[in-house]
Amino acid sequence: MSQQDAAVTRARKMGFVGKAKAYVALTKPRVIELLLITTVPTMILAQQGLPDIWLVLATLVGGALSAGSANSFNCYIDADIDKIMGRTKNRPLVTGELSKREAWVFAWVIGVASVLWLGFLTNWLAAMLSLSAILFYVLIYTMVLKRRTSQNIVWGGAAGAMPVAIGWAAVTGTVDLAAWILFLIIFLWTPPHYWPLSMRYREDYANAKVPMLPVVKPIGTVAVQIILYSWAMVVSSLLLIPAANMGWTYTIVAVATGIWFLFDAFRLYREALKGGAVKNPMRLFHGSISYLTLLFLAVAVDPLLPF
């Protein structure tokens, strides 16, 4: 039996629950979870208190549909390289749990639904920002940049940073300076978050001919870039203090977590300077997720406290 026939047989044997799980996996739920972590704190800061719960839920559902659509299109377009890479070989289009047609239709349906949902239940500025995030991630990052430049993930971070603009717009109907600083923090966070992962799976990306920075540049060059982006990110996090009149809670957390992040980034840099492979680049990858979570938790808590 050929691999294609095996995939067809596997798909036919799947029940409703298995099919539903495959569709959920297509949206990359762990990525969506990280994006939504930044949305609610942004809405609290924009409101300077607790926003209406129904507005929050509507924004989260719309944001999840938007991110899920972009990720589904990404899986559809990148199916050829996903089957080469060990990290992505179990995605639904590779295993045959979903056909490319099913993925294509699903991505379109939830993408259109996300724009209409946000437009009617929040406002049309949030909806248009959602649409722009999908288009940028699919057309600019996935179709143009990912396979052509080592700066792919840098510019891809713009789509990942869009949920904060969407959340702010949902509350205020505008996108103020503070929202753009939050956008900048996530944009600058993306390279030092993703490049350590690219170090870990360097051979996978090389085999798939995806020119991630650790594939095309020496490890020392990558480490320097991580340091530069990390410093820029931490400085940006401090810019939010005057821009949004943040209190002591956010200030202390931003400084403490910034120092912690820079310490880990310099640890990776020192290892890279020794000339060998970095032993555990995933430490910075996982640490970056904790950093962003703690920082945005402080963003959420700060407006609710009197100091």
How many angstroms separate the Cα of 12 from the Cα of each of 15, 27, 97, 194, 243? 8, 21, 9, 36, 55
What average pLDDT does the chain have? 93
Give the rounded distance of the alpha carbon of 159 from its chain centre.
8
CATH architecture of structural domain 176-307: Up-down Bundle (1.20)
Q: Is the pLDDT of residue 62 over 50?
A: yes
Instruction: Quote the pTM value.
Output: 0.93
What pLDDT, in 10s, does the model give residues 191-207?
999 999 999 999 999 99
Distance, C-alpha 5 to centroid of its chain: 35
CATH level 3 topology of 18-173: Tetracycline Repressor; domain 2 (1.10.357)
DSSP conformational letter for 138: I
Banded pLDDT at 2 (limits 50, 70, 90):
very low
Domains 18-173 and 176-307 are alike in CATH topology: no
pLDDT digits (tens, 9 = 90+) for 87-132: 899 999 999 999 999 999 999 999 999 999 999 999 999 999 999 9
Per residue in 142-197, pLDDT (tens digit) is 999 999 999 999 999 999 999 999 999 999 999 999 999 999 999 999 999 999 99
- Domain limits of the chain? 18-173, 176-307
Residue with tokens 């609290």, as numbered in its chain:
44
Rounded Cα distance between 92 and 96, Å, is: 6
Q: What CA–CA distance (Å, rounded) separates 32 from 137?
A: 14
